[in-house]
Amino acid sequence: MKILILGANGGLARNTTRVLLKRADVELTLYLRQAKRLKNPVPDRVTIIEGDVIDTAALQDAMQRQDVVYANLSGDMARQVESIIDAMHAVGLKRLIFISSMGIYSEVPGERYRSILHPYRDSAALIEASDLDYTILRPGWFTREPAGPYKLTQKGEPFAGHDISLDSLSGLIAKIATTPGLYVRNSIGVSDR
């Protein structure tokens, strides 16, 4: 299983890299703007590529021979998603796991939608309109609690809970990335129970 991680220097991406490398059948390509920020944890199973997600040609090169793209991004997310979709189409890659945020559908009881969520909502809308085999994850706030049970809610359901253990979320991402067909074309809220 070959997995391309976009935004590989983020806290969740680094934690998920650690979890994925526990599996002997996984090879990772870590894609980030400044490669010097990461040390290669397992040189025979990990490739580090310096690049910007909005550079579609470089992204296409990184996507060659990959099975899954896992994106953990910030910034101009709509522009980044357009580049990801274009690059995936160009190389014939279909599977995308994308980290968004709780609240993008006004689904969190007692909380108002805020403009800070616009990039997450807009990028999710682009992905949902695509023909990709996507899974959008909408996690709660990260905690450093040990991995434990978590609650999944579908788009259209009220978000349950609030926080999510970083280790629980990384475990879920690894499970989705290595299980073909799991939660395809779903937008899932994730929180601790």
What domains lie within the chain, and their CATH numbers?
2-192 (3.40.50.720)
**What six digits make up the tokens of 176?**
């989705």
pLDDT by residue, tens only, the chain of 193 residues: 999 999 999 999 999 999 999 999 999 999 999 999 999 999 999 999 999 999 999 999 999 999 999 999 999 999 999 999 999 999 999 999 999 999 999 999 999 999 999 999 999 999 999 999 999 999 999 999 999 999 999 999 999 888 999 999 999 999 999 999 999 999 999 999 7
Q: How far is CA 131 from CA 26, 67, 93, 179, in A?
A: 25, 16, 11, 19
pLDDT score at 162: 87
Residues 150-163: pLDDT tens digits? 999 999 999 988 89
Helix axes 118-129, 77-91, angle to 10 degrees: 20
